[in-house]
Amino acid sequence: MRPLPADAVVAVIGAGAMGAGIAQVAAQSGHPVRLFDSRIGAAETARRKIVATLESLAAKGKMSIDAARSAGERIAVVDVLADCVSAKLVIEAIVEELEAKCALLRELEAIVAFDAILATNTSSLSITALAAGLKHPSRVVGMHFFNPAPILPLVEVVSGLETDSTIADAIYATAAAWGKFPVHAASTPGFIVNRCARPFYGEALRLLSERATDPATLDAVMRDAGGFRMGPFELMDLIGHDVNFAVTRSVWDAYFHDPRYTPSVLQHELVAAGFLGRKTGRGFFNYANQAAKPDIIALPAQSRPAAVRACGELRAAGTLLSRLASANVIVERGPPNPAFPSGAIAVGGGWLALTDGRTATTRGAAVGVRDLVLFDLALDYATCTRLAVSRADTCSESVWRAAAGALQAAGIAVSPLDDVAGLAVMGTVAMLANEAADAVTQKIATAHDVDIAMQKGVNYPLGPLAWADRIGIAQVRDVLVHLGAQYGGDRYRVSPLIARRCATGQPLADPS
């Protein structure tokens, strides 16, 4: 399918931050743009800001002066919707309310030509519901940009039950021509990103509710071990708790209170108090000018062990042994230990092992090991600078110190967590992969598009399905099973796709 011709008129309805960003993208791609807002003067104010942004880009050498001037001149403010009559594509970006959007689409349908495409930038509303009252619902499609639209590369192209596939394909091709990474999605609550990202926030809030550690330390673990650009608490503060909580609540309500999406009482309290994050000066963190930056909890330096013994395969965590050897710690090789089928490190008379989703206390008791320390998942054990660790209630202080000393000898900061199931990165990544697998199972999107969406839409270091393949699908399944056993209920139920791929050995990220 070919994109819209470059000379096709694009109308953008709504001149807020998102609408203005979309107008800029379309204009920079060569389209004449009609910008409308029902608020008097809002569209003209937005146009001036766009022109100033384009001039700034030219001054920084990111585009030519002529290109910036031409793009600015292509944006025309219109005072009435009827002036959008020549538009071949209309993108609405008004308030996120179903009735308001439906009323606008009905009005637009009576104005534009029969072959014009009506697109909505909704982030959560049903495309099917938005199109339901129209004479030609087949031409309504979701074109969900991410804020700021000129910078973030993802566009979710969302099809309702009656969306014509050729319309969706045309919008996909158009978004690609505009320099974006488009993905196809079916119209379901949250589409791809807002659904599949819920565990990133939900698991962090669970850990905080259990007082595993403080928000700053959990953020540091997710950044320094998990490779995420931002930790969940600083990201929620940036988004705004009113917005983030509302999205979670919306997805939870839309899925008839599925426990996977249950909102957090802690976040609800922040919203009730008006502590919405950066925009109000306080959320999980204090953003006042003189506020002290929160400390990140890490264990003080411990004595390094002279030697450790690796028993069995450590899989991805095996690079820890190389780091220890490079630090002049003797790494001995021992036979596999039946208590640790995925391998473990013997140190200080106890054991250091990768979490499998159980608490250290539960896992140690199950295999008859008292002195057990667990460490968290890392995106890359060869380069990570921090790991979360926990210890069984029965673990001696000497083993705890020896295990910490071994990780510190490898150049890794050790952030202690209370003995919680799944720790931080492992539990979160397993749940992200599980949610992504369910999206594929339910044909909301392909495996390829899910992984691309999570990388391009929310800057994850890996797509969650590819990440699960790297960890090992069976290991992800086991983590989910153990989390389910710890907490009960249906929150951690294993996706049918993960169960099937464990049986067949196929990767989750396989586009087939």
Active-site option among 123, 390, 434, 495: 123
Each residue's pLDDT tens digit, 232-282: 999 999 999 999 999 999 999 999 999 999 999 999 999 999 999 999 999
Question: What is the number of domains present in the chain?
Answer: 3
What CATH number does the domain containing 86 carry? 3.40.50.720
Question: Does the active-site annotation cover 147?
Answer: no
pLDDT at 315: 81
Closest to 424 in 3D by CA, of 262, 222, 233: 222
232 lies in a domain?
A: yes
Q: What is the pLDDT of residue 25?
A: 98
Question: Does any domain span residue 233?
Answer: yes
Cα 330-334-335 angle, rounded to 5 deg:
165
| pLDDT value for 317 | 87
Residue 42 falls within a domain, yes or no? yes
Specify whether the CB–CB gap between 194 and 459 falls below 8 A. no
Average pLDDT over residues 315-341: 92
Q: Are residues 511 and 372 in the same domain?
A: no
Predicted pLDDT of residue 510: 67
| Helices assigned H by DSSP within 354-446 | 360-367, 397-409, 425-441
- The pLDDT, as a whole number, for residue 511 is 56
Q: Of 353, 386, 416, which closes a domain?
A: 416
Assigned domain for 480 exists: yes
**What's the rounded mean pLDDT across residues 293-314?**
95
Are residues 241 and 376 both part of a single domain? no
Q: Taking the CA atoms of 242, 244, 245 and 250 in sequence, report the sign of the dihedral they define.
A: positive
Q: What is the CATH number of the domain that holds 501?
A: 1.10.1040.50
- 498 and 388, same domain (yes or no): no
Q: Is 482 a catalytic residue?
A: no
pLDDT at res. 318: 87
pLDDT at 499: 97
Whether 286 is catalytic: no
- Catalytic site residue from 194, 250, 264, 415: 194
What single DSSP character describes residue 185? E
Q: 226 with 266, same domain? A: yes
Angle at 156 between CA 154 and CA 160, to 5 degrees: 175
99 and 164 share a domain? yes
In this predicted structure, the answer to whether residue 512 has a pLDDT above a threshold of 60 is no
Strand duo 154-159 + 386-391: pairing: unpaired
Residue 57: the pLDDT is 97
The residue type at 160: G
| CA distances, 94 to each of 15, 23, 34, 37, 195 (Å) | 8, 13, 15, 8, 22
Catalytic residue among 92, 109, 156, 203: 156
Q: Are 255 and 367 within one domain? A: no
Q: Are strands 372-375 and 350-354 parallel, antiparallel or unpaired?
A: parallel
Catalytic residue among 29, 109, 121, 144: 144
Kindly state whether residues 334 and 430 are assigned to the same domain: no
In this structure, what CATH number is given to the domain that contains residue 355? 3.30.750.190
Q: What is the mean pLDDT of the chain?
A: 96
In-domain check, residue 300: no
Q: Are residues 179 and 237 in the same domain?
A: no
Query: What percentage of the chain has pLDDT greater than the value 90?
Result: 95
Range of the domain at 99: 10-187
- In this structure, the answer to whether residues 81 and 129 fall within a common structural domain is yes
With a CB cutoff of 8 Å and minimum separation 6, the contacts of 185 are 142, 156, 157, 158, 159, 191, 192, 444, 445, 449, 453
Write the pLDDT tens digit of every residue in 413-471: 999 999 999 999 999 999 999 999 999 999 999 999 999 999 999 999 999 999 999 99
Q: Clarify whether residues 33 and 176 are in a common domain.
A: yes
| 194: annotated active-site residue | yes
Neighbours of 48 (CB within 10 A): 13
In this structure, are 242 and 367 located in the same domain? Answer: no
**How far apart, in Å, do the first and last CA atoms of the chain sit?**
22
Residues 349, 396 within the same domain: yes
179: which 2 tokens? 């320099």
Of 377, 418, 369, nearest to 396 (Cα)?
Answer: 369
Q: Write the pLDDT tens digit of every residue in 382-423.
A: 999 999 999 999 999 999 999 999 999 999 999 999 999 999
Phi, psi of 184 (to 5 degrees): -85, 140
